[in-house]
Amino acid sequence: MGGQMEFPLISRELIAILKLVHGGFNLTVVLLFFYHARNGLLIRRARTNNTPMPFHAIKLHRRMGPVLALLGAGGFSAGLILVLLDTGDLLKYPSHLFVGMAIVILLLVTYRVSRKIAGPAGPQRDLHFRLGLAILALYLVNVVLGIGVLL
């Protein structure tokens, strides 16, 4: 069932609009993740330099993390539904799909790791940092891939 569906479930015009909405939503999520990473880096620097903790950044980081993970998974799910409505073929854009899937998996793992962080230092904290970097890198790759899908 590859290519364009013979009788799409919704109009081509609406599909085109929804693709742009999907891209805009996920770009917003990416930008929020970079803001989230900035707060995480402020916290990390304060810990490693033994300087006063940025409590506002800590509060935001703890509150935003789960919300951003849900937004990321929601954006991915919306993309799946959109491709199914458009083509009926989930593998129409395999690179975008698999990078998105990797992002969602890393979001889930990062959330689980964050729940195990205790104390000022430790392997969970470093793993959380590294997973965050991987998520940011993959999001940048997926933005480029997504732009390719839109063109």
Angle, CA of 92, 98 and 101, to the nearest 5°? 120
Entry pTM: 0.89
The pLDDT assigned to 11 comes to 86
Among residues 51, 75, 49, 47, which one has the least CA distance to residue 61? 47
For the segment 101-126, what is each residue's pLDDT rounded down to a tens digit?
999 999 999 999 999 887 777 788 99
Q: What integer best gives the mean pLDDT of the chain?
A: 91
**What is the 3-state composition of the chain as percent helix, strand, coil, each rounded to the nearest 5?**
80, 0, 20
Residue-level length of the chain:
151
Cα separation of 121 and 127, whole Å? Answer: 11
Among residues 135, 148, 10, which one has the least CA distance to residue 73? 135
Cα separation of 3 and 55, whole Å? Answer: 51
Query: Mean per-residue pLDDT for 88-106?
Result: 96
Band (94; pLDDT cuts 50, 70, 90): very high
Among residues 130, 124, 121, which one has the least CA distance to residue 48? 121
Cα separation of 65 and 37, whole Å? Answer: 10
